[in-house]
Amino acid sequence: MNKKNIPVEFVYQLFALIIAIIVVHAFYVSVVRPNAAQIIEEQNIAAAENPDYVRERHVWVLIKDFEQEACFILGIWALAIMGYKAVMIIGERKLLDVDLVPVAEGMRILPEDTRDFARQVQALPEDRQAMLLPRTLLNALRRFSSTRNIQDVSTSTHTI
């Protein structure tokens, strides 16, 4: 039976959005809106006492609305997604330093040798096998083994 897995990135993004909503809304309910209400009330009292009173701008009053709350939520969510992508890119870059197919300079790879090289790439942990470089190498090695044609390998590598 084929079990379908939910992508880790989707779950991360979903929980990042939920956490951003909870944290920002809690901050708005406990800090922003009470401070804004207090400032507006003080300004209304001062304006009622003095007709020449000029209302000062306050950050709490400017950000008290739901639109600004939504902007903060989406901004934090975007930062969380960017952080996740940065971690993934760092992992991909570290994999570029690993010698996945140890071939000496000037050594030729024959189609019969591809199985041994493919096993070395398949020996990587599953999370690393899902990265771009191992997938490309495995695809190239399999294509070279089956077609024995370098041009087919080049074409298949460019399509990934």
pLDDT computed for residue 3 by the predictor: 55
Query: Any idea where the domains of the chain sit in the sequence?
Result: 8-96, 111-159
Q: How far apart are CA 22 and CA 27, in angstroms?
A: 9
Quick one: average pLDDT of 43-49? 93
Q: Which sign does the torsion angle of CA 72, 74, 80, 82 carry?
A: negative
- Token pair of 81 as six digits: 């997604």
Please tell me whether residue 61 adopts helix, strand or coil conformation: helix
pLDDT (tens digit per residue) in 47-94: 999 989 898 999 999 999 999 999 999 999 999 999 999 999 999 999
Spatial separation of the C-alpha atoms in residues 108 and 80, rounded to whole Å: 45
Which H or E run contains 127?
Answer: helix 126-129
Cβ atoms within 10 Å of 22's Cβ, excluding its own: 11
Question: pLDDT band at residue 113, thresholds of 50, 70 and 90?
Answer: confident
Closest CA to 136 of 106, 94, 95: 95
**Are the CB atoms for 32 and 96 separated by under 8 Å?**
no
Q: What is the distance between the terminal CA atoms of the chain, rounded to a whole angstrom?
A: 28
pTM here is: 0.75
pLDDT in tens, 5-39: 778 899 999 999 999 999 999 999 999 999 999 99
